Every structure is written in C-alpha cells, then in structure tokens.
Structure 1
Amino acid sequence: MNEHHGKALYDRIGQGLARLSHWLGLIGGVFMIAAMMTLVVHVIGNVFGAPILGADEIVELLIGASIFCFLAPTHLKGANIVVDYFSKPLPPAMRNLADVIMTLVFALVAALLTWRLYVGGLSAWDRNKQSMFLSLPEWPTYLVGAIACTVWVVVILYTTWTSLRVFLGIQPPAASEEREHIDG
C-alpha cells in the first residue's frame, strides 16, 4: 500500500467515525430530551395531583443511555478534560509520546467498561431484570451503552493512531494543538 492510499484510507476512517459519532451524539440528545420531557410532565402532573409513576426509572434509563452516546463524539472532538500539569513543560516529542501511551491506557479502560456492559446486558436479559415500579426491561439500556462504548473504543484507538502518527512525524499536530503549545 502506497503512502497516498494509506492517508486516504486513514482520512476515510476518520470521516466515517466522525459521522457515526455525530449520529450517536444526536441519539444521545434525543434520549436526553426525552428524559427532560419526562421530568417536565412529571412535575406538571405532580402540581395537578397526577405525577408519572416511575418517572425516576424512565429518566434513569434514558440518561444512562444518553451519557454513553456522548462518549465517542466527545472524545473524537478532543473535548475530554485533560490534565496536562506534568506534561505541559515537556518537549513536544515527549508530550506526543505521553499522548500515545495515555490514549492506549484509556482504550484499555474503555474496552473493560464495554466488556462489562455486554456481560451486564446479557445478565439482565437472562434474568429478565426489570425496573421496580414500571417493570421496564433494563437490557436495552445496556445494549445502547455497549454499542456506544464499542464505537467509543474504536474512536479512542483511532485517536491513539493519530497520536502515534504525530509522534512519528507522519502527521502534523492538529491546529488547535499547535496553537495551544505555542500559547502554553
């Protein structure tokens, strides 16, 4: 594979992950809006003596699913909280190496979380685990979380590959990283 073909494939993978992450974020937003609407209807209903029984359960399941949907797009955009107190004074090459190592560690942690979501979802399915008041099945939330976290792990691995390419000098740092290192 020549260098041009490799770069084109790399760019297509990044674009595909960006689109997939964007859609996951939109789905997470729909879940979040549904949770907020449930709370609004519950509060208004409570004023008139007709609250939604089990509103907490509905909100819990929707918010849980939405949070998982936001992980991949947040990571892909580099919007995670970064504590660079110790790495900021390091030379750029060492910072880039630290980025590679830390994103690999992050990928391992995310993969562990994803694995446990799959196991938890299968367990919830097998035991027919349901919420207390409304008897809502819990496995769909696990399923959404596991799928979203699988995408998240792929995004983390992609960003690890990007960090490695920057470290090796194959790819320049993103414009925001260059500006940040100049300002810092």
Structure 2
Amino acid sequence: MAEKTPSGLTKRGASRPRFAWLYRLCLVAAGAGGLAAFAAALMVTLSVLMRIFGFGGIRGDFEAVELVCAACASLFLPYCQFTKGHVMVDLFTNWLPAAGQRRLDGFWTVLFGLGWSVICWRLTHGLETIHGYGDRTMLLGFPLWLIYLPAVAGTGLSALVAFIIGIDDLVNGRATDPMTEGA
C-alpha cells in the first residue's frame, strides 16, 4: 500500500520511487509559496492593527503584498502540475480504454510542458531586461528583478514536472496520478 500524505492523497513516488524526489521538490516550492503568503497576511494584519491603534501602518505594506503575491503565485504551480490539479475536460475521451486515456493525457501534458517552457523562457527574458534597467519599488526601493526569480523557478519546475509525468504516461500508458495507489 502506498504512503499517504496528510491530505489523504497517495504520494506519487511512494509506490514509484523515481518520482519521490520530484514530489518533495514540488512540496518545498508550494511550502515556500505558502509561507510567503502567510507572512504577507501577517504583515497586513499588523499594519491594519497599527493604524487602528494610532501608530500608523507599515511603510510600503501594499508594495510588499504585491511583491510577495507575485513571487509566491508561481511557486504553487509545480505542485498543481504534479497532482494534476489543473482543470481537465475529458468529455470526448471517456470512451477510450484507460491506457489510451492516459497516453492521450500524457500527450497533452507534454504540450503543457512546452507551454510552461515558453512562459519560463519569456520570464527569464523579462528578468534579464528588468535587471538591466535597475528598476526598484517606489517606497521600499526593492529591486523588481528579484521577484522574477521565483516565477522563473516555479514555471521551470512546472515544465520539468509536465515533461517527466507526460512522457511517463505516453511511454507506459499507466496511471501516474497520485490519487491512485500502487500505480
């Protein structure tokens, strides 16, 4: 029986060890994004409380929230890609046998990986461009190019996940869904 995560999902990699490292990497990325979002929420709460009690808010709090949200959003994408959490429409493929459905899913997952790769490439180009400009935020003076780093990492990891899982589905035609035990 495959090992379960706290949410009850079966870890992809518990029954297929070659995916365990990838699962952990996606969890680390999502955890970092979650911690960043939680820190932003705490900062906003503290800033509002400070304003209520007459101490004034935290300088640049809205800038910090924008930066954190931009940074952490793409860190959740690899986990979503890994667990196949994206919206899928299988209305026209239900008649296919299970192996055929998985192979077709693998084909589209590889195409998804190509899409992630293009997004990662363009974000990298944007990072290089904005780094050259030396742009900073107005109040905090934070370098804007640093916000591109988690976005590049998140989309790059999403592409890697999509390629690995998609190719495995194409070649093997078997379940790589973390919700299926003993896949």
The TM-score bracket by the shorter chain reads 0.7 to 0.9
2 CA distance for matches of 1:86 and 1:177?
22
1:61/1:101 CA distance change after superposition, 3 Å: same
Counterpart CA distance in 2 for 1:147 and 1:108 is 15
Residues 166, 173 of structure 1: 8 Å contact kept: no
Residue 17 of structure 1, aligned match among 1, 7, 22: 22
Match for residue 98 of structure 1?
104
Shift in alpha-carbon separation, 1:77–1:122, aligned structure 2, 3 A: same
Q: Report what 2:36 is aligned to.
A: 31
| 1:35–1:62 contact (8 Å) kept in structure 2 | yes
8 Å Cα contact 1:25-1:70 kept in structure 2: yes
Higher helix share: 1
| Count, aligned residues | 166
**Unmatched 5+ stretches in structure 2:** 1-15
Counterpart mapping for 1:60-71 below 5 A:
60-71=66-77
- What amino acid is aligned across from residue 19 of structure 2 in structure 1? G
How far did 1:126 drift? 1.0
Q: Deviations over 1:97-150 (max 9, x none)?
A: 321221121111111111111111111211111112222111111012112221
| Aligned residues: CA RMSD | 2.3
Tell me if 1:124 matches 2:130.
yes
Deviation of the 1:176 alpha carbon: 4.1
Mapped contact 1:68–1:149 kept (Cα < 8 A): yes
Q: Alpha-carbon deviation of 1:30?
A: 1.2
Aligned mates of 1:72, 1:21 — CA distance in 2:
5
Which residue is equivalent to 1:137? Answer: 143
- Deviation, 1:22, is 1.4
Contact kept? 1:53, 1:133, Cα under 8 Å? yes
1:46-125 correspondence runs (5 A): 46-49=51-54, 50-125=56-131
C-alpha distance in structure 1 between counterparts of 2:122 and 2:80, whole Å: 21
Amino acid at match of 2:156: T
Change (3 A) 1:51 1:106: same
- Matching residue's letter, 1:34: A
Looking at structure 2, the residues matched to 175 and 29 of structure 1 have their Cα atoms a distance apart, in angstroms, of 21
User: 3-state SS of the aligned residue for 2:85?
Assistant: coil
Q: Secondary structure at the match of 2:75?
A: helix
- 1:78 and 1:63 map into 2 onto residues whose CA distance is 23
- Map of 2:9 onto structure 1: none
Change (3 A) 1:45 1:85: farther
TM-score by length of 1: 0.79
Using the size of structure 2 for normalisation, the TM-score is 0.80
List alignment gaps of at least 5 residues for structure 1.
1-10, 179-184
CA distance in 2 between counterparts of 1:59 and 1:175 reads 33
